[in-house]
Structure 1
Amino acid sequence: MTDSTATALAEFGSTWKPEELKSERTQQTALRRARGEVPGLQDLLNEAVTTVRTSLAVVIESFPRDATALVIAAGALGRVDPIHNGPTPDSLVHHVIDSEARPYRDPDPFHTDSPLLAHPHAYLGLLCVRPSPAGDGQTVLVSATDVAAEIADPSHLRALQDPCYPFAVPQKSADDEPSFTTHPILTLSGADATVRYCPVRVPAGVQRAGRAVDDEHVSALRAFERALEMQHLPTVFPLRAGDLLLLDNRRLLHGRTDVGPEGVGRHLMRVKVYDVKQ
């Protein structure tokens, strides 16, 4: 993104309050106006959307570090949605900040977001406000298609498509009965693959489900997890200040490398987006 486009988008965003962008209608109104009033934005967003839909991810450099601008731009992919986007209800933008209370964070393993929803969000936007000065906390991506290609046993691929894998639903209180929802891990259609996976929710769900998950499906899950560990598959890169990563949450798994003590203050803003048809 050029400096002039970034400046104009930030100025345009300042005319909107975040709470005014809760509805899809308002988001699309703001986006339509921004496309017409911000020089260069129309072509930039068209190219970004095309790239995400064909190559699964894109990084827009020099994006304004502004929450309203982030919501407006992400609206080019669909409806920006607050559900399952952090602990604050109805928040379109979630701030991911490494604080002094958590001065060291282990690597965040591969996962997809919103796995407990019947229809997970189609896209994610991650805007780097402030990277770690040490250069750690790098972004890691791997495609579901590449992971599936590493699973040699056809029976494992078939089993992973069965809608029987339990994803644990967090207990709201100690008195709640443990519960889970079931879904496939992979869905294959020709050369395309979609994925739903969380390394915390699935093992917890398997434990809660007990014998409801048979040995065949547990074996297939282990094969999937081994494929995720293949060192030649991931794409690893840093997000620099002003980098906006847009990615397909259905066809890519994402994670990050560890964040050391020097990473305190690392700050990302996250949005989640549904296709307009969802």
Structure 2
Amino acid sequence: MSATTTRTGSGRIAIGEDDVSHCESAPVTWGAELSKSMPGADYDAVTGSDSGLLRWLRFLRDSGVAVLRGTPREPLSVLALAGLIGPARATNFGEHFDVASKPEPTSNAYTALGLLCHTDLPNWERPPDYQLLHCLENDADGGDSILVDGFHAAETLRLREPAAFRLLSQSPIDFRFEDRESDIRFRAPTIGLDEVGTVTEVRFNFAVMDAIDAPAGQMGALCRALRAFAAVIRNPALECRYRLRPGELLVFDNRRVLHGRAAFDPSTGRRHLQGCYVDRDQLLSRIRVWSDLRRCN
């Protein structure tokens, strides 16, 4: 049996089953309704059967987000959990990273500040595909995770303001991250399209956006287009809000799903997540291999 992504009568996304031969992606978009029922599965069910793992991977591929519940809470177990998909991909932040408030942070992620929804590392030529965030502790007041489906947001912009959509899909933006050890930069459109105009990628992160380099006559329109897209992304109707519980692993498609968080108060408790990245190629390969094995059995 294989996974299908469907909407229930309440509008929520649910994990279902159908013919195991279903191997092609069937993307489904979502909005704030995801807050009512975050899709996911239990760790034991996913690791205890090939069909459970296959259903979870396919759902993650199609919806762009899923939670794994009841995971081991030992430090660095996020790297073992990543192995359900493939090897962790190292970046300038290392093979894994800790999301917690700490002194002298190199990123706003390492503070208690609220974070506007964004995609990670758009300054890389190939940004990381899937991000894993493993909750070890979350006792502080605030700090709820915020998720926005970038495909839904981009299509909303295309419908409401087609000129702004066209500009953001055609005009490259400079992104750059620099600290004592790294200077990583890349130039690409905010909205990536394939050859038939389907949205395939979103790069949106004001924190690593460099000075805008555009023709003088286009500068005003480009800034207005970015503001228009930001307004769509910040629309509460598109925001999924979810409070991660200790032992939960949140996985999302970083080139599709924008993520942020509400501010939290570190004096009321500790909030500690550990994260890493994995490549989409590994996820798709795992789906194909397990699908073939299931057919043969």
Q: TM-score of the superposition, structure 1-length normalised? A: 0.72
Q: 1:252 matched to which residue of 2?
A: 257
Change (3 A) 1:69 1:150: same
Q: 1:58 matched to which residue of 2?
A: 66
Q: Is the 8 A contact 1:187 1:194 kept in 2?
A: yes
Residue 125 in structure 1 maps to residue 132 in structure 2? yes
Question: Residues 1-278 of structure 1: matches in 2 within 5 Å?
Answer: 40=48, 42-84=50-92, 86=93, 91-99=94-102, 105-134=112-141, 136-151=142-157, 152-170=160-178, 172=180, 181-189=186-194, 192-202=199-209, 204-206=210-212, 209=213, 214-276=219-281
Change (3 A) 1:112 1:104: closer
Please, which moves more after superposition, 136-145 or 255-264?
Answer: 255-264
Please, which moves more after superposition, 266-275 or 44-53?
Answer: 44-53
Please, which moves more after superposition, 255-264 or 227-236?
Answer: 255-264
Other structure's SS at 1:253 match: strand
Q: Is the 8 A contact 1:98 1:264 kept in 2?
A: no
Q: Is the 8 A contact 2:140 2:266 kept in 1?
A: no
More strand by share: 2
Q: Cα deviation per residue 1:195-244 (whole Å; 9 max; x = unaligned)?
A: 01112112x432xx476762222221111111122111100010000000
Q: Read off the aligned partner of 2:259 and give its amino acid letter.
A: H
Give the distance between the partners of 1:230 and 1:71, measured in 2 at CA: 34
Q: TM-score of the superposition, structure 2-length normalised? A: 0.68
RMSD of aligned alpha carbons: 3.0
Q: Cα deviation per residue 1:50-82 (whole Å; 9 max; x = unaligned)?
A: 111011111111100135542233133333112
Q: List gaps (5 residues or longer) in structure 2.
A: 1-45, 284-297
Please, which moves more after superposition, 247-256 or 156-165?
Answer: 156-165
Give the distance between the partners of 2:71 and 2:256, measured in 1 at CA: 24
Q: Cα deviation per residue 1:109-167 (whole Å; 9 max; x = unaligned)?
A: 11111211100111000000000343x10111001122123321211111111252111
Other structure's SS at 1:117 match: coil
Change (3 A) 1:147 1:234: same
Other structure's SS at 2:236 match: coil
Deviation at 1:193? 4.2
Give the distance between the partners of 1:68 and 1:276, measured in 2 at CA: 23
Change (3 A) 1:142 1:263: farther
Q: Read off the aligned partner of 1:117 and give its amino acid letter.
A: W
Other structure's SS at 1:240 match: coil
Give the distance between the partners of 2:115 and 2:47, measured in 1 at CA: 38
Give the distance between the partners of 1:277 and 1:70, measured in 2 at CA: 16
Give the distance between the partners of 1:227 and 1:145, measured in 2 at CA: 12
Change (3 A) 1:139 1:39: closer
Other structure's SS at 1:232 match: helix
Change (3 A) 1:261 1:104: farther
Q: Is the 8 A contact 1:132 1:262 kept in 2?
A: no
Other structure's SS at 1:161 match: helix
Please, which moves more after superposition, 42-51 or 123-132?
Answer: 42-51
Q: Read off the aligned partner of 1:259 and give its amino acid letter.
A: F
Q: How many residues align?
A: 229
Change (3 A) 1:50 1:137: same
Change (3 A) 1:262 1:41: farther
Deviation at 1:104? 7.1
